[in-house]
Amino acid sequence: MKDLKLWKFIYDKIIKKGSVVLYIVAETSNSSPGKQGFKMAVTKSGEQFGTIGGGIMEAKVVKDSTKLIGSDVISSIHILHHDPKSDQEKSGLICGGSQTVITKILGEADLDFVEEVIEKFKHRSKCLLYVNQNSIKLIDSDIYNDRYNFNYTNSNKFSYKEICGISETAYIIGGGHVGLAVSKIISFLDFYVVNIDHRPDVFTFRNNEYANQKIICEYNEAGKYIDEGEMSYVVIVTSQHTGDKAALKSVIDKNVKYIGMMGSKRKIDIIFSNLEKDGVDRKVLIKVHTPIGLEIEAESPEEIAVSIAAEIIRIKNSKDIKIM
Q: What is the pLDDT of residue 252?
A: 95
Architecture of domain 169-317: 3-Layer(aba) Sandwich (3.40)
Name the CA radius of gyration of the chain, rounded: 22
Q: Is 112's pLDDT higher than 50?
A: yes
Alpha helices in the chain (DSSP H): 2-17, 55-68, 111-122, 177-187, 203-206, 241-251, 265-277, 282-285, 301-317
Residue 294's pLDDT is 94
What's the rounded Cα separation, in Å, for the pair 298 and 163? 35
- Pair type for strands 19-30 and 97-107: antiparallel
Q: Give one word for 307, left, alpha or beta, with left for phi > 0 and alpha for psi -120 to 50.
A: alpha
For 16-52, write each residue's pLDDT tens digit.
Answer: 878 899 999 998 876 667 789 999 999 988 899 999 8
Q: What is the pLDDT of residues 280-300, one digit of tens each?
A: 998 899 999 999 999 999 899
pLDDT at 224: 96
Confidence of residue 64 (pLDDT cuts 50, 70, 90): confident
Q: What is the pLDDT of residues 191-219, one digit of tens each?
A: 999 999 999 999 999 999 999 999 999 99
Q: Is 279 helix (H, G, I), strand (E, B) or coil?
A: coil
159: confidence class by pLDDT, cuts 50, 70, 90 = very high
Q: Are strands 169-173 and 192-197 parallel, antiparallel or unpaired?
A: parallel
What is this structure's pTM?
0.85
Alpha-carbon span 254 to 232, nearest angstrom:
10
**13: Cα within 13 Å, side-chain hemisphere:** 23
Report yes or no: 19 and 105 within 8 Å, Cβ to Cβ. yes
For residue 86, give the nearest of 76, 97, 75 by alpha carbon: 97
Q: What is the pLDDT of residue 81?
A: 61
Q: How far apart, in whole angstroms, are the C-alpha atoms of residue 237 and residue 262? A: 5
pLDDT category of residue 88 using cuts at 50, 70 and 90 = very low
Mean pLDDT of 266-277: 93
Q: Which pLDDT band holds residue 12 (cuts at 50, 70, 90)? A: very high
* 14 has a pLDDT exceeding 80: yes
Q: CATH 3.40.50.720 in the chain, residues? A: 169-317
pLDDT value of position 111? 95
In DSSP terms, 100 is beta-bridged to: 27, 79
> Which DSSP category does 227 fall into?
P
Q: Around 148, how many Cα atoms within 13 Å sit in the side-chain half-sphere? A: 14
